Chain A
Amino acid sequence: MISVQNVHKSFGDLEVLKGVSLDVKKGEVVSVIGGSGSGKSTLLYCINAIEPINKGKILVDDVDVHAKETNKDKLRQKLGMVFQQWNSFPHMTVLENAALAPRIVKKMSKEEAIEIAKKELEHVGLGDKFDVYPTKMSGGQQQRLAIARALAMKPDYMLLDEVTSALDPELVGEVLDTLRLLAEEGMTMICVTHEMGFARDVSDRVAYFHEGVIAEIGEARQVITDPQNPLTQKFLSKVR
């Protein structure tokens, strides 16, 4: 379980998270929606300890993420992350991209790492791209590679940061289909997203972020189709 407890986070004078609390249970899919600058992506970076927090606490399986004694490299193995800019490693083939972390972080044998990488690449529909360099692929394919690369570490949780925002519209579908597949398989996910249809259909709950706090959270269909908070109503009427 991921438990975010009253987290505050500032960049300089700018307070981006102003007391955020959120519990995500195993197997649950939570989508986070909200305007840009509302702090939703920052929350993911804080959960992954890529960004430190100023106040509050984040627990992942009861381990305090930001405690000094926590081995953050080790912790991140549990938390797969996919970014808006797909961040493939351009100097490695698709297969090498996916096999690298299992081999050097989990210290698997080369054969084992490659086997897992191949499996995850096939999983996301890149079974015919093993020896291709990522820069030769479309954004959608590179984003699916990023998902497979994260999955190859066998994470317990996936953090997805606006994974379709930088894609051409016609490529969004293939990535969302991949995420849908993961959700059906029971992967625990926190998805920061602008895809309201995806948030409504795939997630269990939806949280609406407004100026650094969760203004509304509830069952996905209810929040998207029948929001209670006037701020959520206003936001949704704009994005539709």
Chain B
Amino acid sequence: MDYEFHWNVVFQNMPQLLNGAFVTLHVSVLAMLLGVVIAILLAIAKMNSTRFFSQVATVWVEIARNTPALFQIYMAYFGLGAFGIHLSPYVAVLSALVFINAGYLTETFRGGFQSIPSTQYSASKSLGMTSIQTYRYIILPQMLRRIYHPMTNQFVWSILMSSLGILVGMSELSGTTQRLQSLSFRTLEFFIVAAVMYFVITKLVLFGSSLLARRLFKGEI
């Protein structure tokens, strides 16, 4: 192998890479938070008996889950651009990730909700609890346990998928890496370091998530 590794240039540009990593985390966290809020609304809409609401939710979920993330990002950036709506790369990627997160999480929430046996409602009712108390103390805490790990997975997925920002010139970790390597021609070095950074970020997220889970969920399901 006659390739010579030159790591110095990578380390010199570390501040920029770290900045890119921060943008990656930033967009993923925001996409997750907004995705969760919309998914709650979509899940409620999907279980709603009004056809209009459940159909809107179904169309959203089907498109989000059955088309490539790349397509969503292109639609947000170039597609909307064709109609005169010009989103910045950051906003375009954020919207696409929110759209997809909401689609996947809707199904996660609905499944979690429906997995709580109806007998838990009867038992709560029989103790004189109101509907609100039943949800607050019995249903939601159990539901949260069941959707927690799928939600963590979705978050990790968001972090990795935000790398598609490279395609619309976003300055997240991948975009920054792309720019720096094209200036220095140290392609392999930059992408190896970027990969390690993605790995460390997602591992930290998973570790933090399981620590939190241990604090939150003491009982077993």
Which residues on A are within 8 Å of B, measured CB to CB? 45, 48, 50, 73-74, 76-77, 79-81, 83, 85, 87, 89-93, 100-101, 104-106, 133-136, 146, 149-150, 153
Q: 6 closest Cβ contacts across the A-B interface? A: A87-B123, A81-B126, A101-B127, A77-B128, A133-B219, A105-B128
B125 proximity list for chain A (CB < 8 A): 48, 50, 73, 76
Do the beta carbons of B219 and A91 come within 8 Å of each other?
yes
- Give Cα A45–Cα B4 distance, bound, in whole angstroms: 78
Do the beta carbons of B128 and A76 come within 8 Å of each other?
yes
Which of A50, A85, A134 is B126 in contact with, Cβ under 8 Å? A50
The answer to whether B221 has its CB under 8 Å from any CB of chain A is yes
B130 proximity list for chain A (CB < 8 A): 73
Give the interface SS of chain B, mostly helix, strand, loop or mixed. helix
Offer 29 A-B interface pairs, CB within 8 angstroms, sorted by A.
Answer: A50-B125, A76-B125, A76-B126, A76-B127, A79-B126, A80-B126, A81-B122, A83-B122, A83-B123, A85-B117, A87-B119, A87-B122, A89-B142, A90-B142, A91-B145, A91-B217, A91-B219, A93-B219, A101-B127, A101-B129, A104-B129, A104-B137, A105-B129, A105-B133, A106-B128, A134-B219, A135-B219, A135-B221, A153-B128
The answer to whether B2 has its CB under 8 Å from any CB of chain A is no
The answer to whether B91 has its CB under 8 Å from any CB of chain A is no
- Give Cα A36–Cα B138 distance, bound, in whole angstroms: 30
Residue in A79, A80, A89 whose Cβ sees the most chain B Cβ within 10 Å: A89
**Chain B interfacial residues counted at CB < 8 A:** 22
14 additional contacts (CB under 8 A) given A91-B141, A91-B142: A50-B125, A50-B126, A77-B127, A79-B126, A81-B126, A87-B120, A89-B120, A100-B127, A105-B127, A105-B128, A133-B219, A135-B219, A135-B221, A136-B220
B145 proximity list for chain A (CB < 8 A): 91
Who on chain A is nearest to B217 by CB?
A91
Who on chain B is nearest to A77 by CB?
B128
Least CB distance, B21 to chain A, in whole angstroms? 36
Which of A92, A93, A101 is B128 in contact with, Cβ under 8 Å? A101
Do the beta carbons of B126 and A48 come within 8 Å of each other?
yes
A93 proximity list for chain B (CB < 8 A): 218-219
Within 8 A of A (CB), among B122-153: 122-123, 125-130, 133, 137-138, 141-142, 145
CB within 8 Å for A91 and B221 given contacts A73-B130, A76-B128, A149-B127: yes
A136 proximity list for chain B (CB < 8 A): 220
A91 proximity list for chain B (CB < 8 A): 141-142, 145, 217, 219, 221
A133 proximity list for chain B (CB < 8 A): 218-220
- Give Cα A123–Cα B180 distance, bound, in whole angstroms: 72
- Give Cα A90–Cα B126 distance, bound, in whole angstroms: 17
- Give Cα A90–Cα B141 distance, bound, in whole angstroms: 10
- Give Cα A77–Cα B125 distance, bound, in whole angstroms: 9
Do the beta carbons of B126 and A150 come within 8 Å of each other?
yes
B138 proximity list for chain A (CB < 8 A): 89
Who on chain B is nearest to A102 by CB?
B127
Least CB distance, B190 to chain A, in whole angstroms? 47
- Give Cα A167–Cα B130 distance, bound, in whole angstroms: 30
Who on chain A is nearest to B120 by CB?
A87
CB within 8 Å for A90 and B122 given contacts A73-B129, A104-B133, A153-B128: no
- Give Cα A45–Cα B118 distance, bound, in whole angstroms: 14
- Give Cα A119–Cα B24 distance, bound, in whole angstroms: 55
Within 8 A of A (CB), among B84-131: 117, 119-120, 122-123, 125-130
Within 8 A of A (CB), among B198-221: 217-221
Least CB distance, A163 to chain B, in whole angstroms? 13
Least CB distance, A136 to chain B, in whole angstroms? 7
Within 8 A of A (CB), among B141-169: 141-142, 145
A83 proximity list for chain B (CB < 8 A): 119, 122-123, 126
- Give Cα A87–Cα B125 distance, bound, in whole angstroms: 12
Question: Please, what's the 1-or-0 string for B10-45, where 1 marks a CB less than 8 Å from any CB in chain A?
Answer: 000000000000000000000000000000000000
